[in-house]
Structure 1
Amino acid sequence: MTESPNYPNYPDSAATGHPAAAPARPSTVEGAFWAFIASTVIGLVGGLLIFGNRGSITDALRNSNRQNGGGLTDAQIDQAVTIAMITAVVIAVVIAALYLLFAFKLRAGRNWARIVLTVLTALQLLSLLIGQSTIVGYVGVLAAIAGVVMSFLAPSNAYFAAAKGIR
């Protein structure tokens, strides 16, 4: 098909029979994507580090058990710690998979993914400020904050607007 005579500079679209080209992804969106990937990897590492704390977790549970009347045997305490650790790792993996999904959708220009990642980062920061954390937690949240900031810079905003116009 030929271009409309009234709109010679109008990009190809469904009206002309040609799909519009995807907008060029700015470096700010690429940077945000990689910051969220880094935050995800750091979160997984933090989730796996729980295995190094098995002894202290077991000791804390044993002390709590003694203070509360000693209703659990050592075997039950060990089993409870194992279940808790496996559950924590499974949750970390599920959260990491969701973060990866949202990061790839952000990279593809989906504004909803940018919003979801912003909300998740805010919750991650709130969790960090309320509870105990490690240096790994601080590094992970800093990477996520960097991703949020980069995803809302002017070139990123233009990219998300252009990507929305294509759909």
Structure 2
Amino acid sequence: MSEYPSYPASSDPSPSGAAAQARPSTIEGAFWAFIASTVISLLGGILVFGNRDALADATRTSSQQSGSSLTEAQIDQLVTIGIVVALVIAVVIALLYLLFAFKLRAGRNWARIVLTVITALQLLSVLVGQSTWAGYVSVLAAVVGVVLSFMAPSNAYINASKTIRS
């Protein structure tokens, strides 16, 4: 007698006996569009942070206009802290965005909704404020991802994934 429990053999390893549905190309396209949006945003942010002199000049001008007298060392320290804080925030947001993209790829409807809300906020930010070329391209990729995630094959995949999980 074996020490391992004996389970009946099953030719269908999917949960609840339902056949697993293949991931449609619209979900794959949405996933890669969100990945591209994230990468473009990070690259655009790195390019902006690479212009340290312009940030220092803006800080210096702001300091003079407000009447405070910051030394060059203080301005340099403020710019460094600002870059580090912004970079940490950007990386955390990018990691969350990637998590949502992977959850969308796994067929989670809540991830699709979260990505849609984030994309709407991103689009609003680009329309209302000033943006760089990276901001425009990033939001365009995210909008493509949202559109693809709501197409009929994507809806069927998410509904099938929901049925398989329950």
**What is the TM-score normalised by the length of structure 1?**
0.87
1:74 aligned partner, one-letter code: E
In structure 2, the partner of 1:147 is: 145
Write out per-residue CA displacement over residues 51-93 of structure 1, whole angstroms, 9 at most, x where no aligned residue.
2221111101101111222332111111001100111111111
Write out per-residue CA displacement over residues 95-150 of structure 1, whole angstroms, 9 at most, x where no aligned residue.
11001100000000000000000000001111111211000000000000000000
Q: Is the 8 A contact 1:128 1:137 kept in 2?
A: yes
What pairs with 1:4-23 in structure 2 (closer than 5 Å)? 14=16, 19-23=17-21
1:125 aligned partner, one-letter code: L
| 1:13–1:42 Cα change, 3 Å | closer
Structure 1, unmatched stretches of 5+, are 2-11
What pairs with 1:89-128 in structure 2 (closer than 5 Å)? 89-128=87-126
CA RMSD of aligned residues (A): 1.4
Q: Is the 8 A contact 1:50 1:85 kept in 2?
A: no
Structure 2, unmatched stretches of 5+, are 1-7, 9-13
2:88 aligned partner, one-letter code: V
Q: Distance in 1 between matches of 2:20 and 2:99?
A: 20
**What is the TM-score normalised by the length of structure 2?**
0.88
1:106 aligned partner, one-letter code: L
1:165 aligned partner, one-letter code: T
Identity of aligned residues (%): 71
1:145 aligned partner, one-letter code: V
Q: Is the 8 A contact 1:31 1:147 kept in 2?
A: yes
1:66 aligned onto 2:64: yes
In structure 1, the partner of 2:163 is: 165
1:54 aligned partner, one-letter code: R
Q: Distance in 2 between matches of 1:130 and 1:138?
A: 12
Of 134, 137, 151, which residue of structure 2 is paired with 1:136? 134
| 1:153–1:57 Cα change, 3 Å | same
Q: Distance in 1 between matches of 2:105 and 2:55?
A: 39
Q: Distance in 1 between matches of 2:19 and 2:91?
A: 35
| Equivalences, count | 153
Q: Distance in 2 between matches of 1:34 and 1:63?
A: 41
Displacement after TM superposition at 1:13 (Å): 5.6
In structure 1, the partner of 2:25 is: 27
In structure 1, the partner of 2:3 is: none
